[in-house]
Amino acid sequence: MGGKYVTETLRAEAGGLARAVAILREGGLVAVPTETVYGLAARADSDAAVAGIYEAKGRPSFNPLIVHVASFEQAHALAEFTPEAERLAEEHWPGPLTLVLPRRHDAGLAAAVTAGLDTLALRMPAHPVMQRLLKEVGLPLAAPSANRSGFISPTTPAHVLASLDGRIHAVLDGGECERGLESTIVAVRADGSVEVLRPGPIPLEAKAGEGERIEAPGQLASHYAPGKPVRLNATQVAPDDFMIGFGAVGGDCTLSASGDLAEAAARLYACLHEGARSDKPRIAVAPIPERGIGVAINDRLRRAATPPG
């Protein structure tokens, strides 16, 4: 795919981390590993750098970004933590939990990060390469998933390059993402109430929001699109199907032959990428149990099965 950059692949252990730090400080775009999916990072305090994220992804400007931090100190400088928010962060950070909190207006973030909202989405990732990067850059990093807007999220550097090669400066190779699904997003209100905006690896008891209000604007009905029809809860393979199996239901790609939901989450986007690349015109997916992280897997699959537009 053409583009305005020659995208470098950097290895953390071979001086690549220092190179990634330099690119980010200069305002460039680097795809970075996290325990959930690869993110497309830029310094969150630079209007030009953040504009680059929206441009590279083709992301609508009304869809705000998650800001990634290295420390509680950095987090507290950016948003207001209620006692409930503090408790959730203490329990789950570093890890796959994003907190949506009232933002501090004097924090010096690029305006486009929050897309006009009074709240800020914050996360402290657990991936060791991302943690080192954040510490060495010394700045909060804005990072949506490292894919073209609306398409399948990336869990390997190859997935990143499949949609962003030539559109970003570099991808920092941190191997395969362990969790494989985007973070759980939770809004903590000033009155202490908690609302799950996006299900994810951390199963939270809090009630999901009523109605179809799009508060996490990226939570549109169609997302993670492989570019061909997707049929869910399939137990029979049709000749035209690229079959994604689970448990006893086999396939061209299996999420987990043993029926393990954590393994299925980690493999979901790899199987969808494979299905997207295959010659088969359709994708079919075996039923996934609606419990634990299965809830988040089914959330992503429903969006992948919803035609765009």
Q: Which stretch binds Mg ion (CB under 5 A): 13-21, 142-150, 249-257, 271-279?
A: 142-150
Site for Mg ion, residues 144 to 163, rule: CB under 5 A: 145
Helix axes 261-277, 294-305, angle to 10 degrees: 20
CB atoms inside a 10 Å sphere around CB 292: 13
Of 46, 51, 220, the residue nearest 149 (C-alpha): 220
Closer residue to ligand TXA, CB minimum distance, 19 or 123 = 123
In the complex, what is the shortest distance from the CB of residue 144 to Mg ion, in angstroms, rounded to a whole number?
5
Find the binder of ligand TXA among 36, 46, 156, 254 (CB under 6 A). 36
Residue 119 or 254 with smaller CB distance to ligand TXA? 119
Residue 6 CA to its chain's centroid (Å) = 24
Considering only residues 202 through 221, tell me which ones interact with ligand TXA, judged by CB under 6 A: 215-219
Residue 39 or 140 with smaller CB distance to Mg ion: 39
Q: Does 36 bind Mg ion (CB under 5 A)?
A: no
Q: Smaller CB distance to ligand TXA: residue 186 or 244?
A: 186
Is residue 207 packed enough to be buried (19+ CB in 10 Å), middle (13-18) or exposed (0-12)?
A: exposed
Q: Is the Cβ–Cβ distance between 180 and 33 less than 8 Å?
A: no
3 state SS of 190: coil
Q: Which is nearer to ligand TXA, 84 or 252 (CB)?
A: 84
* Helix/strand/coil for 241: strand
**Residue 67 and residue 56 in contact, taking contact as beta carbons nearer than 8 Å:** no
Q: Does 156 bind ligand TXA (CB under 6 A)?
A: no
**Amino acid at residue number 169:** H
| Contact window for ligand TXA (CB under 6 A) among 117-125, 224-232, 258-266, 292-300 | 117-125
β-pair partners for 249: 246
Give the number of residues in contact with Mg ion, rule: CB under 5 A.
1
Please count the residues of this chain forming the interface with ligand TXA, following the rule CB under 6 A: 29
Alpha carbons 12 and 49: distance in angstroms, whole number:
22
Residue ranges that bind ligand TXA, judged by CB under 6 A: 34, 36-37, 39, 63-66, 96, 98, 100, 114, 117, 119-121, 123, 143-145, 182-183, 185, 197, 215-219
